[in-house]
Amino acid sequence: MALGQSCEPVLLGAADSPNRDYAVAMDGPLAFVCDLDTSVPLDHALVVLDFTDIAAPIQIGSLDLADGPWDVVVRDGLAYVAADDEGLLIVDVSDPSAPVLIGQGSGPSGAQGVDLANGFAYVAGGRSDGLWIFDITDPAAPVSVGFVTMPQHAFKVRVAGSRAFVASLGGGLQIVDVSAPAAPAVLGSLDYTCSGCSVNDVVVVDDLAYLAVQSWGLRIVDVSDPTAPVEVGEYRMDDLAYGVAVRGSTVLVGGASGLSVFDASDPTLPVMIGSLQTTPAGSAFRPALRDDLAFVPVRGAGPLVIDIGSCFGSGPCNDADFAEPFGVLDTADVSAFVDAFLAAETGADLDASGVFDLRDVTLFIGLFVGGCPS
């Protein structure tokens, strides 16, 4: 795909979860959905949907929650949920038809973001709070081991290596050194003073942070020096930006009107190449990517399944497609993966755990043997 060439996202299916969906995590064909209720009485839940049949997904399980789920990560049969005043909830989903709450990490006043790395859970604690770090060695008894205050509202968090990147409503992007989990420390920040410019979400790939900035749109920040992050590119959207996902040079932003797709091959000049409206169903949040599909949580409707294959163009066909020519898995990809793995480059951390180990190798082999999606 040439730089800026347009693409056409295609709606393939939708699920009908009961309330408002704010986040979704994929594990194979299963979607784990943060379903948050604003009516009275409240009816919050973690909902499990089976998308084996994309056109006709079915709900196979759910777990009622005492407070609103805002974010979720699923790994090794466990779902880690940021659940507002309930803090960090750990749910056994090894039987997805019968999720069971097995652990809780208290402390955050309004947990709204969660990520996992290095055997720890990192939780954005909400308004007038900060970043919490929990040791999850025993998922039945997570232990708070570290905390650092954030300005304003700690909303979402993503961890890359020894850095945590916190999207802070009213406080911009905060970069935290988490190399010592018991003593996290803010290294640098980038604030936005424009009206309504809350940073609602962040994704970090290599030395670039991609931000969904509410009243602005997509902003791209060079974080190679974490003490002095510098914005290198932006795209002013005619929409409110709520969530962001990245694969290769393709960036997806969920907004008030729907999903927008950008080509960021040149991060200094991102170009919108496609979009799909989700209104009147509701606003779109951070997409979860699987192969050529985006599973998009929508406030006011269940997750939408959108085919975005045409937006990836000639980029990597999956996470094992390390080397050109893209779209073909061959010995060049194996060699490039091995080099990246030995050099501890972010791209080789396929399970996003912050640790380069046998799990990454196993994931690479599975993706390589599975081949490029047809």
| Tens of pLDDT, residues 312-341 | 855 677 889 888 766 678 888 999 999 999
Say what the pLDDT of residue 313 is. 59
CA distances from 333 to 322, 324, 337, 347, 351 (A): 5, 8, 6, 12, 18
User: What is the strand order of the sheet 10-14 is part of?
Assistant: 10-14, 301-307, 293-298, 288-290
Chain centre distance of CA 84 = 18
Q: Is the pLDDT of residue 350 over 60?
A: yes
Least confident of 42-51, 72-81, 333-342, 356-365: 42-51
Per the structure block, which two tokens stand in for 81? 């949920």
10 Å Cβ neighbour count for 93? 23
Q: Is the pLDDT of residue 5 over 90?
A: no
Q: Is the pLDDT of residue 128 over 60?
A: yes
Query: What pTM was estimated for this model as a whole?
Result: 0.83
Closest to 125 measured CA to CA, from 90, 74, 86, 80: 86
Q: Is the pLDDT of residue 99 over 70?
A: yes
Q: Is the pLDDT of residue 55 over 60?
A: yes
Q: Is the pLDDT of residue 41 over 60?
A: no
Say what the pLDDT of residue 244 is. 96
Say what the pLDDT of residue 82 is. 95
User: What is the strand order of the sheet 217-222 is part of?
Assistant: 199-205, 208-213, 217-222, 230-236
**Average pLDDT score over residue span 77-94:** 95
CA distances from 70 to 12, 24, 58, 61, 87 (A): 25, 9, 22, 18, 10
Burial of 68 (0-12, 13-18, 19+ CB in 10 A): buried
Say what the pLDDT of residue 343 is. 87
Say what the pLDDT of residue 2 is. 43
**Average pLDDT score over residue span 343-366:** 88
- Residue-wise pLDDT tens digits, 242-288: 999 998 889 999 998 899 999 998 999 999 999 999 877 778 899 99
Report whether 218 contacts 270 (CB < 8 A). yes
The Cα 137–Cα 120 span in angstroms is 8
Report whether 59 contacts 97 (CB < 8 A). no
Instruction: Quote the mean pLDDT of the chain.
Output: 89
Taken in order 240, 311, 51, 286, is the CA torsion positive or negative?
negative
- Residue-wise pLDDT tens digits, 182-203: 999 999 999 887 767 889 999 9
Say what the pLDDT of residue 219 is. 95
Burial of 345 (0-12, 13-18, 19+ CB in 10 A): middle
Say what the pLDDT of residue 354 is. 81
Per the structure block, which two tokens stand in for 168? 């802070």
The Cα 351–Cα 111 span in angstroms is 23
